[in-house]
Amino acid sequence: MPMRSVLALLIVVVLGAGTALALLRNDAGSERSAPPPGRRVFPGNDPFERACDLPIRYLRRIWRGHDPVHSEDITAVPLEPNSSGTFRVTSHSGPWNYLQNVPLVFYGPGFIRASDGPVRGPAETADVFPTVGELVDVDLPSRDGRALTRVLERARPGPPKLILTIVWDGVGRNVLERWPDAWPNLARLEREGTSLLDAVVGSSPSITPATHSTLGTGAYPRSHGVTAIEYRTDDGSLRDAFAKRNPSDLQLTTMADEIDLALNNEPKVGMLAWKGWHLGMLGHGTMTPGGDADELGLIGTDEHITGNDEFYSTPSYVNPLPGLDGRLEEADRSDGEADGQWRGNPLDLHANPGWVNYAADALLTMLERGEYGVDEVPDLFFTNFKPTDIAGHQFTMDSVEEREALQAQDAALGRILDYLDDEVGEYVVVLSADHGHTPSPERSSAWPIYQGRLSEDVDAHFGLEGESLITQTTAVGPFLDRDVMEERGVTEDDIARFLNDYTIADNWGEELPEEYEQRGDENVFEAVFPTDDIDRVMSCATGNSSP
């Protein structure tokens, strides 16, 4: 095992109350300001040694998120707090605590313990799967998750009539801490239910399709096969995961698949979401042998909420579902001007509160008209609220747009709880997030890694013109063109070495902005290595290739 090198970091942090709280948590780090210039330069560029030097908890998350067929060819771990993106538009995908630490809240009078505030202790997204199995008294397959029996009341009246799983997209703990007054309804659930303060996603990439699939299957991407948004298929081509709303990318059954079969397809099962990326928490519908056509509604650009009739059913009463225009008019006027925009942005951008309110309207319509929770057979419904994620990407998590999207989602949660109290009674709500969000570079002093420039620099370094070694760049790392690599005699290790030396000045290519003038020699990445080396790296770091 190579000697683990030491990168000396002098960190000066000014702690506000929310940040100080985060630093006290075992697995919930906060954003930090970048260290002084000259202290973020690594002595060597060897991919194996740099990877072996990563914190073990980061390596474990990367290992769990790796699939030898579907993952990117090279794993690039930016030097925290750097991330892919631009100064205006942020991205996320990594093993860091600020992306990993997510809310995980269980609430249901008579079913879930009231803890009078968040509680400490290990928990992961994968734990939802076996915990729901306990609630409905169905033996689910043993996978990576562990049942969180400590959240359950011992003397339960039986299975709840409805389990509603809600994902606030991109609302990790760091977003909640950034806007602590924006979510009073969730805060009530934390007091009156059980909120697991140290919950983490558990794998990296911390990205929507992968983490929704982990929630649904109780397993990490290494087992369920959905690693990220950009996805290499078995034939080597690249596409988005769950393309054409087809669930076949998901290699394991979900809790809904299993519970539906165990109860002879008597439960009603449905999902309202925004993209095929969210299918991993619903399941396979009729693709599952013996399965039925679970309800699927995906919100698009107008009042037509659609699905995929090959494997699912979409209720006619949501296609179309009137009311979107009125909700967008409310959003238009909410900023004080009726100008056809929301805070100067197009109303069709899914980040504004109008889309949140329309999604809540659609959800309540599906629950009511679909008759979820009306009998003793436990029903399952899953939903995703996407606007917070879009606002975080387009405006950063520090923006007023993010705050307003979060406030709207919390208000929608209040409406949902009122409906469940009045119409269902015996229910459980599980609320979580699929990842945290990336702070603005202005606040974190991060360097936003420009992927287009990086790709150009890789090709220039190896003397390419008119062709590229990189087929596609992602926030996780690049997919490579193996034919071009073979023709040019370039290996994955060669590219990783180049990127391990890559600096802020390299990635900008001109005079740096004033606040970065003295930081041009800083390395952009903490470690870049061939993805297929992850087992060997784990052996180096832990003595065990499969932790």
From 414, 437, 460, the end of a domain falls on 437
Question: Residue 121 CB: number of other CB atoms within 10 A?
Answer: 11
Same domain, 311 and 221: yes
SS3 assignment, position 284: coil
Do the strands 74-78 and 525-530 form a parallel or antiparallel pair, or are they unpaired?
A: antiparallel
In tens, the pLDDT along 24-59 reads 223 333 333 444 444 589 999 999 999 999 999 999
H or E element that contains 384: strand 379-385
Q: Domain of 476? A: 17-91+442-492+500-542
My answer on whether 27 and 168 are in the same domain is: no
Lowest mean pLDDT among 17-31, 240-254, 357-371: 17-31
Q: What is the mean pLDDT of residues 444-450?
A: 96
Q: What is the pLDDT of residue 40?
A: 87
Position 44 in a domain: yes
- Predicted local distance difference test score (pLDDT) of residue 2: 40
Residue 544: predicted pLDDT: 82
Residue 342 sits at φ, ψ, to 5 deg, of -120, 110
**Is there a single domain that holds both residue 22 and residue 112?**
no
Same domain, 506 and 528: yes
User: Is pLDDT of 516 > 90?
Assistant: yes
3-state secondary structure (DSSP) of residue 66? coil
37 and 111 in a common domain: no
334 and 453 in one domain?
no
* List of residues 6+ apart from 541 with CB closer than 8 A: 52, 54, 56, 59
What element of type H or E holds 230?
strand 230-232
Structural domain includes residue 388: yes
Cis bond before residue 160 (omega within 30° of 0): no
Element housing 77 (H / E) = strand 74-78
Looking at residue 263, its pLDDT comes to: 99
pLDDT tens per residue across span 199-246:
999 999 999 999 999 999 999 999 999 999 998 999 999 999 999 999
**Position 3 pLDDT exceeds 70:** no
pLDDT recorded at residue 355 = 99
3 CB burial (10 A radius; 0-12, 13-18, 19+): exposed
Q: How far is CA 362 from the centre of its chain?
A: 23
Q: Prior bond to 320 cis, omega within 30?
A: yes
- DSSP assignment of 480-541 equals E-HHHHHHHT--HHHHHHHHHT-BHHHHH-SSPPGGGGGGTTSBSEEEEEEGGGHHHHHHHH
Residue located via tokens 């995908």: 93
pLDDT band at 518 (very low <50, low <70, confident <90, very high): very high
Minimal CA–CA distance to 52: which of 94, 1, 12, 93? 1
Residue 190 lies in a domain: yes
Domain shared by 86 and 124, yes or no: no
Q: Which is nearest to 434 in space by CA: 116, 65, 2, 18?
A: 65
Q: What is the mean pLDDT of the chain?
A: 93
Query: Of 437, 453, 484, which residue sits at a domain end?
Result: 437
The pLDDT score that the predictor gives to residue 11 is: 27
Instruction: Name the residue with tokens 């990490």.
Output: 220
Handedness of CA 392, 393, 394, 395 (dihedral sign): positive
pLDDT at residue 30, rounded to an integer: 36
Q: Are 207 and 435 in contact (CB under 8 A)?
A: yes
According to the model, what pLDDT value does residue 323 have?
A: 99
Whether 6 is covered by a domain: the verdict is: no
What is the value of pTM for the model shown? 0.92
The pLDDT value given to residue 101? 99
Domain membership of residue 10 (yes or no) is: no
The per-residue pLDDT for 266 is: 99
Q: Determine how β-strand 341-342 pairs with β-strand 345-346.
A: antiparallel
- The number of folded domains in the chain is 2
Predicted confidence at residue 515, as pLDDT, reads: 95
| String of DSSP letters for 445-491 | -PPEE-HHHHHHHHHHHTT--SS-SEEE--SS--EE-HHHHHHHT--
Domain assignment present for 413? yes
Both 260 and 396 in one domain: the answer is yes
pLDDT in tens, 264-321: 999 999 999 999 999 999 999 999 999 999 999 999 999 999 999 999 999 999 999 9
The torsion angles phi and psi of 117, rounded to 5 degrees, stand at 130, 165
Task: Write down the pLDDT at residue 13.
Answer: 28
Taking only the tens place, the pLDDT of each residue in 380-434 is 999 999 999 999 999 999 999 999 999 999 999 999 999 999 999 999 999 999 9
> For the chain, what percent of residues have pLDDT higher than 90?
91
The amino acid occupying position 145 is: G
Query: Mean pLDDT across the stretch 136-149?
Result: 99
Q: How far is CA 43 from CA 8, 25, 522, in A?
A: 11, 31, 11
The answer to whether residues 427 and 447 belong to one domain is: no
* pLDDT score at 371: 99
Query: 117: phi > 0 → left, psi -120 to 50 → alpha, else beta; which?
Result: left
- Is residue 220 included in any domain, yes or no? yes
What token pair was written down for 325? 């225009």
| Torsion sign over Cα 392, 393, 398, 402 | negative
Domain identity same for 216 and 167? yes
pLDDT of 176 > 50? The answer is: yes
CA 65 to chain centroid, in Å, comes to 12
Asked if residue 358 is part of any domain, the answer here is: yes
In this structure, the answer to whether residues 379 and 478 fall within a common structural domain is no
378: domain CATH number is: 3.40.720.10
Same domain, 452 and 313: no
Sign, CA torsion 190/186/281/398:
negative
Sign of CA dihedral 59, 60, 62, 67: positive
pLDDT computed for residue 21 by the predictor:
28
Instruction: Check if the beta carbon of residue 214 is closer than 8 Å to that of residue 203.
Output: yes
The amino acid sitting at 127 is D
Question: Which residue, of 437, 466, 482, is where some domain finishes?
Answer: 437
